[in-house]
Amino acid sequence: MSYPRRIHGIDFSGAADAGKCIWIASGTIDSGRLHIDACRRADTLPGSSHERDVCLAALCSLIMAEKACAVGLDFPFSLPKDLIQTRSWTGFIRSFPNRYPTPRRFRAACVRAANDRERKRATDIECRAPFSPYNLRLYRQTYHGIRDVLRPLVQKGQVCVLPMQRAQSGKPWLLEICPASTLKRLDLYVPYKGATSAHRRARRRILAGLQRENGLSLAPVLRPVLIGEPGGDALDSVIAAYAAYRAVLRPGLLSAPAVGVYALEGLIYA
């Protein structure tokens, strides 16, 4: 099975004005390198807006329209195994909105089930992810990512969510990524989110590291956007695309569905 050559990286948000916060980097694998040719906010997608529900529906439409592509998404795809009350990840996804009607009830239920602890998955620990999936800073992102992106796409059978589902040619491959984990693996992790000159230098250093040794090239017009955007969200979308690109070049990780704990908890592709 050949790997998809079209790659997207999505820096996700569960905020009410998610369209202003989500960034999407898009590129193509050519001669073994990833060339990023576009980076845009989600509210610029056809039919989108800054409102979360409208924006996430437009995001799903983008993914479905692409067919053969790999998409790196920056939110947890699952929970720690002991907090999942179904036998399969697909069952967990399908029952998610009924079990957790709101983001607050989602977090409260997880905290209660974990005896007031913020538990991490095996992959969170292995990839040095900064937060539990239901951490106070992350739970809305997890909630809306699972309910409003993964669930409708899985229900329609139009994507493959790796590694819980088998990769198939002609369908989008969805991969969980974490920019912090990728940067730590590459020894490029420095504080880069902010408007100071030090933060801009850090973003410049990260881009240089990705381009110099790690197979990334950029359309020249994108460089000032990635360095100048103070939240680091535009850069995070490029890191998400890079992590997806690296994953699809390692077919051993994509050839079969996960087993053991990863079949329920998922896997961060760092």
pLDDT in tens, 151-179: 999 999 999 999 999 888 889 999 999 99
Range of the domain at 41: 6-265
Q: Is residue 1 in some structural domain?
A: no
Q: What is the pLDDT of residue 2?
A: 76
Q: What is the pLDDT of residue 201?
A: 96
Q: Is residue 94 in some structural domain?
A: yes
Q: Is residue 189 in some structural domain?
A: yes
- Closest by CA to 255, choosing from 177, 166, 123, is 166
More confident residue, 260 or 204: 204
The alpha helices in the chain, defined as continuous H runs, are 18-21, 52-66, 89-99, 103-113, 122-126, 139-145, 151-155, 179-185, 197-213, 223-228, 233-248, 262-265
Residues in contact with 54: Cβ distance below 8 Å, sequence separation at least 6, in sequence order: 19, 47, 48
Model-level pTM? 0.95
Distance CA 156, CA 63 (A): 12
Q: Is residue 160 in some structural domain?
A: yes
Tokens of 230: 């103070």
Q: Is residue 270 in some structural domain?
A: no
Tokens of 82: 């002991």
Q: What is the DSSP string of 162-198?
A: TTTS---TTSPEEEE--HHHHHHHTT------SSSHH
Do residues 226 and 203 touch, judged by C-beta distance below 8 A? yes
Looking at residue 60, which CATH number applies to its domain?
3.30.420
Q: Which tens digit of pLDDT belongs to each residue from 249-264?
A: 886 666 666 778 999 9
Number of domains in the chain: 1
β-bridge partners, 217:
35
Distance CA 6, CA 67 (A): 10
Q: Which tens digit of pLDDT belongs to each residue from 30-71?
A: 988 999 999 999 999 999 999 999 999 999 999 999 889 999
